[in-house]
Structure 1
Amino acid sequence: MSEAQRLDVTETDALREELRKLRRINASLMDRVERSSDMSANAFSMFETAISLEAMVRERTSQLEDALGQLAKANSDLAAAHSSADAAQMRLRDAIESINEGFVLFDADDRLVLFNEAYLGFWPELSPHMREGMEFSEIAHLAAQHERPLGAVVAPDRWVSERLAKHGIADGGHVQALCDGRWVQINELRTSEGGIVGIYTDITEVKAEDARARALELAERNLVLQSTLDTLSEGVCMFDSAGRLSAWNGALGHLLGLGDDPARALACHGDLLDWCRKGMGMEDHGCLDWRQDQGHVSQLCPAGDRRFEIRSTRTGQGGQVFSFTDVTDMLTAQASLRETAETLERRVSERTAELLSVNARLGQEVAERRTIEAALTQAKIAAEKANLSKTSFLAAASHDLLQPLNAACLFVAALGDKRLALPTRALVSQTATALESVEDLLEALLEISRLDAGAIQPEISHFRIDQLLQTLNVEFTPTARAAGLQLRMETEPLWVESDVRLLRRILQNFVSNAIRYTASGSVRVTCGVEGDQVRVAVIDTGRGIDSSQQEMIFEEFRRLDTRSQGKGLGLAIVRRAADMLGHRIWLHSAPGEGSTFAITLPLGRPVAASEGDGVTAPRDRSMQGRRVLVVDNERQIQSGMRTLLGGWGCQVATAGDYGEAVRLFPEDERPDIILADYHLNDGETGDRVIAQLQAHFGAAIPAVMISADRGEELKTQLAASGTPLLNKPVKPAQLRALLRTMLP
């Protein structure tokens, strides 16, 4: 109702009240006149009274006519206002009926004022009971009685209480689920008069679309999860919070003998326990039990003649994940390796005893040399044979000798940095040269011992010989120029089949000897095809070698010119490497005619450019300039490792933990190898630091673990990850040999 209508009603009521008062006054006057007539018969008095009453009646009648005129006008205005209000109300009803959403209006007393058909569409059972003037609480109870909202089906009283509370707040929207599957969004707001207007919107399609999107997303996630599980070699099964099997992979059925469909045998967690413990006889030590605590459990469990590593992890949703890894073969291999190591140790002990026995015999033969010439010859032959048996001993001794030798080189280098008199500085320089010569000698001895012991295995590949010869040309041209010689390479793009690293060593010795023993002239390298072979020859213009000495020069420590700086080991290395590869060595020389050293190689086949490029560059196993990262929490050990590795030519960086190690290298740099102690500060371990560093640098950097822990658990853990382990105290020779094999 509008303000004008309310004013008209108020004015009409006032006029009616005034008319009622006038009628009461008129009735009183008439009654008084009648009583006066009864009490006095005086005609004059009655006349006066009649005149007075007539005047009063006339006056009151005039006032009554004015009031009636105003009342008629008010009624007319009120009728017009009612007509306008009815038209406005009709237009309002038409407007709210035209909208798709349900519309409802309650006054300040929370009584129903207005609603549309769309609103009744949400409550079709309530339509016969709906009427204007109903309180909202009546409508809520009717909806609960007819179980229209889904919440009212389970707990009608609670639903009514919650609905009345939300209606009383009326500060926004909320969503209700109906029992017929529809969803309605209710938005209620207060009007300026204190009433409540509500808009009811059907969002069933929106909800359905959202459910479909969520279902699709869940299906995609399940597909990704299943694909990930299927790629694992470990058997994996996942149970939900109720212990039901929710995910698994094909490897699970293979490892546990469940067939292609593990879900048929393992419907719940209890089935898994029964199958593993009773069906397989597995001793899981409680690893398969359902746990309430968070975290990760790992256990090695026997099952008959097989061994499984079982990992159990609790999920955030209250479920549990189990993974099974068959480590039977790995444990068998470890046992075999231990047995092999014990056999090797026993053989070394036996060989050592044999060496001691041979040495004893040699001493006896030397004592008898003065009396028996024939015994002397036999003793010499026996000594030479015994020398061949000492190859493994020589290899170990060479490693151990290199450590104090490197320390001596460090001391001499430190002495050379001081201010010294010229004669003293010359002595220091000569000492450094002598130590370098001894180190070269030990390195050559080590290489010979590795060849004899079979520590170097040939890696046969197909590559172009001209590319290898070109690298030698770059390497030896400065040396030849310094000696006043001309070095020429006459090459052809021929493919050969050999070990590129060993062949490079052979040709290096040929060219090096030719330059060393040629006083003037030239050194020429040629290659050509001879049948199904490729012949590579190094021809010099030196003084030549007599035929009686040509076989001798391939023995250890044999030099024709004792004034040269050679050690007499280069050609010995050539013979051993050639024998290992099955290549034939040729020597043609005569005094005054120079010498020709040649080797014949099998013809190779062309390979792809990438493959060929990869094999033509031989691997340089020198540690000069190698960047080594040492992670140890003891500063003294850092200093010792820095001194030791620095003496080998490495660039050493030391750190106490992961954070310190990362700060040592710029973004575009990384170490060539990592040496990490296992037990670090604050419970941090070396394997975790290695994994973090490899992830930080974005590459699988070679790594060595160093630890005083000699337990089998640590060995098994590192063997599984392929990380070598050195026990403290670290032997420098052992460390150096390991670095040589790991560095590319």
Structure 2
Amino acid sequence: MNEMQLSDENKRLKYDNAKLLKINEALMQRVEEGGNQSAPYAAFEHSVHLAEQVREKTQTLGETLSQLERRNRQLKTFQQRFTDAIESLSEAFVLLDCDGQIILQNSNFEAFLQTSNLPSETVLNLKALTEKKDHQKNTNNDGQLLKPVFQLSDGRWFQLNERPTVEGGRVLLYTDISALKKAETVRYEQAMAQKSVQLHSLVDNLSQGVVLLSSEKQIEVWNSRFVQLSQLATQQLHANIGLRDLQALTELELPTHPRLGSDFYVQTLQGGTVLEIRVHQLHDGKTIITYTDITERHRNQQSLQENERRLRLITDNVPAMIAYIGADLKFEFTNQVYIDWYGSTSRGLDITELDKSLNYKQIKPFVQRALKGESVIFESRELNRTGEPNYLLKSYVPNLDGNGVVLGFFVLIRNITERRINALALQKAHDQLERRVVERTSQLSSLNQKLLNEVEERRRVQTDLQAATREAEQANFSKTKFLAAVSHDLLQPLNAAQLFTSSIVEKTVDAQLAPLINSVSSSLDDLENLICTLVDISKLDAGVVKADKCNFKLSDLLDNLAREYQQQSGLYGVQLRYVSCDSLVHSDSFLLARILRNFLSNAFRYTDKGKVLLGCRRVDNKLCIEVWDNGAGIAQDQQTEIFKEFKRLKSSRSAFTNGLGLGLAIVDKISKVLEHPVKVSSTLGKGSLFSVTVPLADKTDLPQPAAQLNQALTKTELAGRTVWLVDNDFNICAAMKQLLETWDCTIITAASLADLQAQVDIGNDHANILIVDYHLDDGINGLDVAEQINHLRSTPLPVLMITANYNKSLQKEIKEHGLLLLHKPVRAIKLKTTMLYLLNKK
């Protein structure tokens, strides 16, 4: 802080002190002249309080003035030290103000001024010296020197070090490098001849096209790549033809000046080659033009931008704030909901800089826990952009690498203001009730009649409280049920993204893009599993999931599971052994399969190059389905913890590090729905046993065998087939169209029946398959649309119904109509298999 700033600070403090004195005087006068004669003591008390505040402000001002004097003395000391320091420098030092006038200099600079014959008040910078032709020659800066170098008329060379100051001035430091320059000149002249030959060979073998234009805009030098790109003959280039005439002989642009506002520009040739053209102006008036082939980079950039846009579309439409923060506490990703809430893109910002209304100290303990590898859920009170307080439920989930090192953590934030307000209102009502009970109880000894009235009032209030409690519980149940049913809206954009990714995989893609596309596809699969897992937990908590039990052969279920995991066993070095069982059981095959898949997945996850056994054991009139492994095992004190939400053991397999620890929690909830007991037995270091017990069914009550969908599917091709698609989601229509066109299908997409009728004659035009989304606009369902279309046709079309609704009553309704159903997100291979089945069946 300099003297001027200290003086301004002193004036400001004096002004504030005077203003406080005036305020005190005005308040005292107002109190003395006030018309409220009924409260003189209050007025006196108020004036005393104001006087105390003025005294405190005056004391603070005095302390500030004392501090200001100490800073003045320190400043003088620092100035003297600075003067001694610059005088000790061997270089010429000078400090200039914003107008170029000298503020401070050392004796070496005074000697430099006398040698250069420049007046002391001149602006001493590199530009001023180069303009003085009688004091210096050309600057020798070949692009490798980072600091300007110049030569005086007496032959001496100086190097200039220049740095701007905060006030707009500059600090200049001149170093004599005459001896260094002489040695450098000798080396330079010796190397020039050899470098000239090397440079010519280098330019001619560059992958870039290079051409040198003279100051008269004639081509002087070119390389073979330029000849190849321009398609000009070497004789034409040697003929000294004008640049304008040469331009007429080639489609390659031959600019003479850089484009305004850009270092380069891009030209696309007729053959599809994309070139980056740069124009470099030399000091002698000559021009160098370079042509770089960026065709592959241009295509890759377009593909990456499109993939990023699709992924951003998914996260921006999730009704929650989502972000990712690295281990350095800087934001690496935020979705649109997060940006809208905090009013900033936040990418690259530190978490402490994002929102000034949020005290970082409040969330610091939770951030530290997340960075230690712990999943954290907590509530936080923050102000929204309009200044209103809101309550947020925040979840921090750490991101661990294969070695267990925390790379960062995921942030999921939901607004629970309404729920918190309801809870506070309920607590307030409860507190009011308690106070009223205490007040009424104190009057029991003297007011018998009031006692009876108070008892009746208490009963009424308790009844209201119970009703309010039931309403709050019902509201919480409805909210949980809503989350369980919201999967339709979440899976719609995810379905479109997976279809787009599948269409990219179907096409021929450069080998360099294959890992990126596989990563995108894997990320979408992980996102689907995450959403489905969270929705399953919510549905189970809300009681939406009901068991649809029936009799079925257990071998049908276990054979499919064994085949599915037999394919994965080779990938993870696990040997799967399966003992078949033909028993008839009574259960829900879908929910039972969920339990067994979790058992097998856990066995694969925690068995490193070991063995897994799937089999059954009969116990009385029940059947115990067991999954054995000889993996790491589970400690005795953790065998109950693993069935809790977000609790999972550490696995050595990187393929399973992205789980949430919800698998066995779902198993526990499904087992309660099915009323099938689940047991676990494990020894640390030896292996584990997971089992579920199901009731046996009467063998006389056998179900009808299910139709096989995969018979003779490979005998039918999709090429040349015409498909009609009705879906009210534009992105899904676009993704489905792109995917089916890669299979050489002709596809007509429409958002409704009216839209389809506007494009085709639904009664007479040729088509092979009709694909319809169940939930359409204006309350119309896909079953009605399919029925209307086939009613107008002489030969009904095979119909494939798609939906994100997993409701069993809907599945039953579609099955009763004799239609096939696929759930979103739709897998490309499953879609293709189902379409082939429909065509073969027809």
Which TM class, normalised by the smaller chain length? Answer: 0.3 to 0.5
Structure of larger gyration radius: 1
Q: TM-score, normalised by structure 1?
A: 0.36
Higher helix share: 1
Q: TM-score, normalised by structure 2?
A: 0.33
